[in-house]
Amino acid sequence: MQYADLLIETHGRVAVIRLNRPKAMNALNDNMMNELGAALQQFDADANIGCIVLAGSEKAFAAGADIAAMANYTYADTYPGNYIGRNWEHILNIRKPVIGAVAGFCLGGGCELAMMCDFLIAADSARFGQPEIKVGVTPGAGGTQRLPRTIGKAKAMDLLLTARMIDAAEAERTGLVSRVVPADKLMEEALAAATVVASMSVTVAMAIKDSVNRAFETTLTEGVRYERRYFHAAFGTPAQKEGMSAFLAKRPANFDGL
Ligand code: CO8
Give the span between the Cα atoms of 83 and 77, in whole angstroms.
6
Atom in ligand 1 nearest the alpha carbon of residue 66:
1
pLDDT beyond 80 at 208: yes
Q: What would the mean pLDDT of 75-104 be, rounded to a whole number?
A: 96
CATH class, range 6-198: alpha beta
25 ligand 1 Cβ < 6 A? yes
Give the span between the Cα atoms of 174 and 166, in whole angstroms.
10
CA of 45 from ligand 1 middle (Å) equals: 33
CB distance 106 to 126 below 8 Å = yes
Q: pTM for this structure?
A: 0.98
Q: What would the mean pLDDT of 89-94 be, rounded to a whole number?
A: 97
* Residues annotated as part of the active site: 65, 109, 112, 132
Atom in ligand 1 nearest the alpha carbon of residue 65:
50
Above pLDDT 70, what percent of the chain?
Answer: 100
pLDDT, one tens digit per residue, over 138-192 is: 999 999 999 999 999 999 999 999 999 999 999 999 999 999 999 999 999 999 9
Q: Which helix (H) or strand (E) holds 166?
A: strand 166-167
- Write down the domain spans for the chain: 6-198, 201-248
Q: What would the mean pLDDT of 42-47 be, rounded to a whole number?
A: 98
Sign of the C-alpha dihedral, residues 133, 24, 64, 168?
A: negative
Nearest CA to ligand 1 atom 55: 140
Above pLDDT 90, what percent of the chain?
Answer: 97
Which has the closest alpha carbon to 49: 242, 202, 190, 193?
202
Nearest CA to ligand 1 atom 21: 24
Among 77-91, 150-164, 197-211, whose mean pLDDT is lowest?
Answer: 77-91
Query: Residue 83: is it exposed, middle or buried by C-beta count within 10 angstroms (0-12/13-18/19+)?
Result: middle
Q: What is the pLDDT of residue 34?
A: 97
Nearest CA to ligand 1 atom 14: 24
Identify which of 25, 159, 164, 165 to mutate to test ligand 1's pocket (most ligand atoms within 8 A of the CB): 25
Give the fold, CATH level 3, of 201-248: Lyase 2-enoyl-coa Hydratase; Chain  A, domain 2 (1.10.12)
Tell me the three state secondary structure of residue 189: helix
